[in-house]
Amino acid sequence: MEKLLAPEVDALTISPAIVRKISDGPIDDSWIKALEDLEKRSKTIDSKAPRSKSAADLKPLIDSLKNKAVERTRDYVVSQIKALRAPGVNAQLLQQNNFMRYKDAFQFLDRHQPQLGQEIGRAYINTMRWFYLHNFSRYKASLERMNIHVIDKTEVLAQDDATKRSTVVSGSKTQAAPHDAFSLGRRMDMLKGSFKSALSSHIAEEDKSAHYLEAPFRAFNLALMDNASAEYSFLTEFFSKQSYHEVNRKFAEIFQPTFALGQALTKQLIDPTVDALGLLITVRLNQHFAFELQRRKVPAMEGYVNGTNMLLWPRFQMVMDTHCESLRKATSSLSGRPAGSALILTSSSAPQSIAPHHITQRFANFTQGILALSSEAGDDEPVHNSLGRLRNDFEAFLTKLSKGFAEQKKRERFLANNYSLVGTIIAETEGKMAEELKAHFAEKAEEFGGR
């Protein structure tokens, strides 16, 4: 008989040690174990209460103890949420050490007091919404202190060198800074770096060197991706009993103002510029971020990445059109006659040499940069059409410029030399578009050089 009753009695009793632990003990790992024991016995008593007087008599004590556990869990989680607002707090450390360690306690609270669980979830959302907006606003302000090269409409492809200015902007200061708006140079390195660490606020503020627009773009968005990835991982674990849709909703609410801040910075960087290479680098960075987010399994940031894309591509096309328009204006200013040519880009009325024109050098470097940044791009990207328009306008300019030579042979040698230079500069570039252009300019050089 004793063997039969022992399990029954054990199921309907709860030790004083567990009662004391849950009521007054410190919230630690043993407190969580006591909570698990309480939950187990509570389920047994709830199931037996309708047909067992002993269980029914014990139920008020168990319910009171559960309420105490809920109350203590509420106080603990609320204190941790408040701690997230402390100056200089490491949110990710707090999440891992103080939230995740006791997520079972929060889930206990959520099961027994779902309304309270929702209120605590709302308090967490509001706090983290403030946390990220506050810290990224400060970070954005730090990045705005960086020295950024100004590449505006004075540096379009067919602009007179005499009117070109070379500056950087740093806050309210403007100072000279040499750069080449049409050569990729080492800017490609920006795409080769790993995604392991973002630029710190302190380094951004202290850095006196000049950068192109892609530097602050990469810094802000890399930091945003890292923080959003960590937050999404936390939300999916801490609120693991909630639906995928609910977790995504929490994430969206937390990051919506910070995402808006990021897109405001992007617009601030790209709206005044005619730096097509910088714009294309930011496009490629954004694509790299998208791939990295897929690898990290953070789908909730897809909307932000797509929204950034919708800012970058139209601006890139608009800037490419601006460069095309500069070539068309230069072409229209030419008379197309040997005697009376009036080219605003040279001091003489007609080409004096069959050597390649300085705009050809600029066009070739510019084209090489775009091709290098598009080695894996398909025909469906705006780059393909924009580069096609640029090439056509460049060739129209060269053709009309060549008519400044009275002799047909000089005219042809001039064109052959220009097309050959373009071919030489883009010769090492890889990719489908590069192969098409290399074949095209080789054909043009042969057309005029083989006569």
Same domain, yes or no, for 378 and 420? yes
Examine the domain organization and report whether 299 and 358 are in the same domain.
Answer: no
Check whether residue 150 and residue 260 sit in a common domain.
yes
Calculate the CA dihedral of residues 99, 103, 109, 112 and round it to 10 degrees: 160
The answer on pLDDT for 165 being more than 60 is no
Let me know whether 147 and 106 are in one domain: no
Inform me whether the pLDDT recorded for 304 exceeds 90: yes
User: What pTM was computed for the model?
Assistant: 0.87
**256 with 160, same domain?**
yes
pLDDT of the residue at 242: 85
Residue 89 sits in the same domain as residue 197: no
**Is 327 part of a structural domain of the chain?**
no
What pLDDT, on the 0 to 100 scale, is given for residue 335?
Answer: 76
Are residues 268 and 363 both part of a single domain? no
Q: Which of 42-56, 325-339, 416-430 has the highest mean pLDDT?
A: 416-430
Question: 381 CB contacts (<8 Å, ≥6 apart)?
Answer: 374
In a domain, 221, yes or no: yes
- Regarding whether 254 and 229 lie in a shared domain, the answer is yes
Domain that holds residue 425: 333-346+353-449
> Between the ranges 10-14, 268-272, 407-411, where is the mean pLDDT highest?
268-272
Give the whole-angstrom CA distance, residue 427 versus residue 437. Answer: 9
Q: Is residue 50 part of a domain?
A: yes
210-267 confidence digits (pLDDT tens): 899 999 999 999 999 999 999 999 999 999 888 899 999 999 999 999 999 999 999 9
**Number of domains, the chain:** 3
Three state DSSP letters for the chain: CHHHHHHHHHHCCCCHHHHHHHHHCCCCHHHHHHHHHHHHHHHHHHHHCCCCHHHHHHHHHHHHHHHHHHHHHHHHHHHHHHHCCCCCCCHHHHHHHHHHHHHHHHHHHHHHCHHHHHHHHHHHHHHHHHHHHHHHHHHHHHHCCCEEEECCHHHCCCCCHHHCCCEEEECCEEEECCCCCCCCHHHHHHHCCCCCCCCCHHHHHHCCCEECCHHHHHHHHHHHHHHHHHHHHHHHHHCCCCCHHHHHHHHHHHHHHHHHHHHHHHHHHHCCCCCHHHHHHHHHHHHHHHHHHHHHCCHHHHHHHHHHHHHHHHHHHHHHHHHHHHHHHHHHCCCCCCCCCCCCCCCCCCCCCCCCCHHHHHHHHHHHHHHHCCCCCCCCCHHHHHHHHHHHHHHHHHHHHHCCCCCHHHHHHHHHHHHHHHHHHCCCCCCHHHHHHHHHHHHHHHHHHCC
- Whether residue 170 is contained in a domain is answered as yes
- 374 belongs to a structural domain: yes
Average pLDDT, rounded, for the chain:
86
Partners of 448 in the β-ladder = none
Q: Is residue 117 part of a domain?
A: no
Q: Are residues 294 and 221 in the same domain?
A: yes
Residue 348: pLDDT band with limits 50, 70, 90? very low
Predicted pLDDT of residue 15? 81
pLDDT, tens digit, for every residue of 379-415?
778 999 999 999 999 999 999 999 988 889 999 999 9
For residue 230, being part of any structural domain is answered with yes
Residue 27 pLDDT exceeds 60: yes
Reading the block at residue 37, the tokens are 């024991």
Domain identity same for 51 and 16? yes
Say if residue 58's pLDDT is above 90.
no
Quick one: 92 and 210 in the same domain?
no
Residue 282 lies in a domain: yes
d(CA 385, CA 279): 16
Residues 182 and 284 in one domain: yes
Mean pLDDT score, 267-277: 96
